Amino acid sequence: MATVTENALEKRHQIATQLRRWILQMTTDAGSGHATSSLSAVELMAELFFGAHFRFDVEHPTAPNNDRLIFSKGHASPLYYALWSAAGQVAPDRLENYRQFGSLLEGHPTSRFPFTEAATGSLGQGLSVGVGMALAAKLDQLDYRTFVLLGDSEMSEGSQWEAIQIAAEYQLNNLVGVIDVNRLGQRGETMYGDDLQQYKRRIEAFGWQTVVVRDGHDFTELSEAYHRAAASTNQPTMLIARSVKGKGVSFLEDESGWHGKAIDDAQLETALQELGQPASEVRGELSMPNDRHPLSVLPADAEPIQYPAGDEVATRTAYGDALKRLASQYPEIVALDAEVSNSTRAEFFAESYPDRFFEMFIAEQNMVGAAVGLGQRGKIPFVSTFAAFLTRAFDQIRMARHSEANVKFVGSHCGVSIGPDGPSQMGLEDIAMFRTIQECVVLYPSDAIATQRLVERMANHRGISYLRTTRGKTPVIYDNDERFEIGGSKVLRRSDRDRYTLVAAGITLHEALAAHSILQNEGIAARVIDLYSIKPLDHATIRAAADATEMIFTIEDHVPEGGIGEAVLTSLADHPTPVRSLAVRKRPLSGSSERLLDDQGLSAQKIVAAVKAVADLN
């Protein structure tokens, strides 16, 4: 183990002083920011960066073996930016723009700052992203390591324990967590204060190597701790370091009431005097990563699966088929599932590509965070569970957008049509949830062929997308060579005499088609649109239907709020058209799929009744 020379120590102390000066200066300039939470972790990060532990080629930031650093305690962003400044990557005068409009140095790190691995600020998420990056390294046999700086307060988030449990399960010895135990949370002392043993006991019980650092400001002790982490052969390592919040400034040290506050100009002057001046131009050197690159895999091609017209195939099954088929063309595709792969059909992929499938057990928050991490390392992660249970990870999904993540979500068992299992298992809010995510694509296929094509689109689309699948079987209604586009739709029934338009997707499309036939027999012509792309939405086709018919009926197995009905209304906001939304408005119960759809007014018969109720008036 390398011992730290006097000379190196002295330089590290000077860098620490420089970091503290920058942290205080930038937060006082901004008039806000988490200065004290940054000061406590200065040595933890200075030793990591400049003690030859963190290997990063600043000339080639995308080099595959560059180590990864995630600030899970994103509020320590002043330290984060200052650290990269000390590494020569941010001009010190740019630090003045911290928190200013347009600056890349935002209040909490987002992907707009070039070195950000994952946006943080919602606590308890960074470790899951680290798990994903560590899994990617194992998969590609790369020797980079992933470091995650954690706050002590955020250890109370259950998502942390999901990440800790999975990291141990996958023996991620290339993952290192660093808990900055500065004792104080936002509004006072944390649950365990400075009792390091509380953290050690729990984390060891979950199967990690732990290294207790009694003084988180002692470079020598920290250096040894990082070396012990590097030596782990089959366990992730957690450094549990006692630190002092506000360290280095007498009137801030270990004091409550300073969380998220900047000091004023006079206090700054005092603080800078206390800290003293470092030797001018302190810069640190990062050590270089290994330059071995991953073997590139030659993709083989796979023929599309042919589904005979009229066959009954559940779209969740078609998803499993499609993902398995695409796997050979896209070596970057990986799949994660929350212990329900036999229901979501991710198992088809898992059986053929076990090394690229990650069983994440029943822990959806960590599954999503890990998928973000895998995506940031060049994978194309498909994440599946019941649509209802994706709500468990809404905060992680929300944050993924600020990471500009590349993650494909697949929610099965949507709507009341799942039947007897009852409301707890029904995805009834998922369209609304994913629609709120900026630039998120929301897809809802009605048959196996549409599903196969849309899964291809998701694989080719960079960003966040969501596919909603159905539990029960639905007939194949499209030709095998039919094309489906993000933002597209299909007009399945149309005539020059159409009085009404039925807009549906997924399970309700088949009810709408049946309703169309009944209405036709009664002399009422209706247009039927398959709105398989809910976001973005095919405005032109909706608008044409609005112009051509008297009223639009939207039919969806989802609550009315935030669903297909409101998406259509928004599409017509400046082009007013009567719209009637048929959706899940009553309390959902257990029962047969048919009975529940009818109970909610979504069956062919109820659609017909709704249309005729209007037709009779006119």
Catalytically annotated residues: 364
Q: Measured on CA atoms in the order 506, 507, 512, 517, is the torsion positive or negative?
A: positive
Nearest CA to 150 out of 72, 208, 226 is that of 72
- Chain Cα centroid distance, residue 393: 8
Nearer to a copy of itself (CB atom), residue 392 or residue 516:
392
206 vs 226, beta carbon nearer a copy of itself:
206
Q: Which residues contact 109 (CB under 8 A, 6 or more apart)?
A: 71, 74, 77, 80, 116, 119, 120, 121
Best CA proximity match to 444, nearest among 508, 532, 571, 572: 532
Task: CB nearer to a copy of itself: give 217 or 471.
Answer: 471
C-alpha–C-alpha distance, residues 216 and 212, integer Å:
9
Cα-only R_g, the chain: 28
Q: How far is the CB of 389 from a copy of itself (least distance, A)?
A: 6
If the CB atoms of residues 16 and 564 are measured against a copy of itself, the closer one turns out to be: 564
* C-alpha distances out from residue 77 to 71, 107, 364, Å: 8, 7, 27
Integer CA distances (angstroms), 386 to 327, 339, 358, 407, 533, in order = 22, 10, 16, 16, 20
Distance (Å, whole) CA 62 – CA 48: 19
**CB-CB contact of 440 with 402 (8 Å):** no
Phi (first) and psi of residue 365, to 5 degrees: -60, -50
Token representation of residue 258: 């300073």
Least distance in angstroms from the C-beta of 185 to a copy of itself: 5
Q: How far is the CB of 613 from a copy of itself (least distance, A)?
A: 12
68 vs 392, beta carbon nearer a copy of itself = 392
For CA atoms 217, 221, 227, 228, the dihedral sign is: negative
Element (H, E) at 224: helix 219-230
Q: How far is the CB of 111 from a copy of itself (least distance, A)?
A: 10
Strands (E) in 195-274, as ranges, are 209-213, 237-242
Q: Which is nearer to a copy of itself, 205 or 302 (CB)?
A: 205
**Sequence-distant (≥ 6) Cβ neighbours of residue 353 within 8 angstroms:** 324, 327, 335
Kindly report the number of other CB atoms within 10 A of residue 569's CB atom: 16
- Nearest distance, CB of residue 168 and a copy of itself, angstroms: 9
Residue among 146 and 396 whose Cβ is closer to a copy of itself? 396
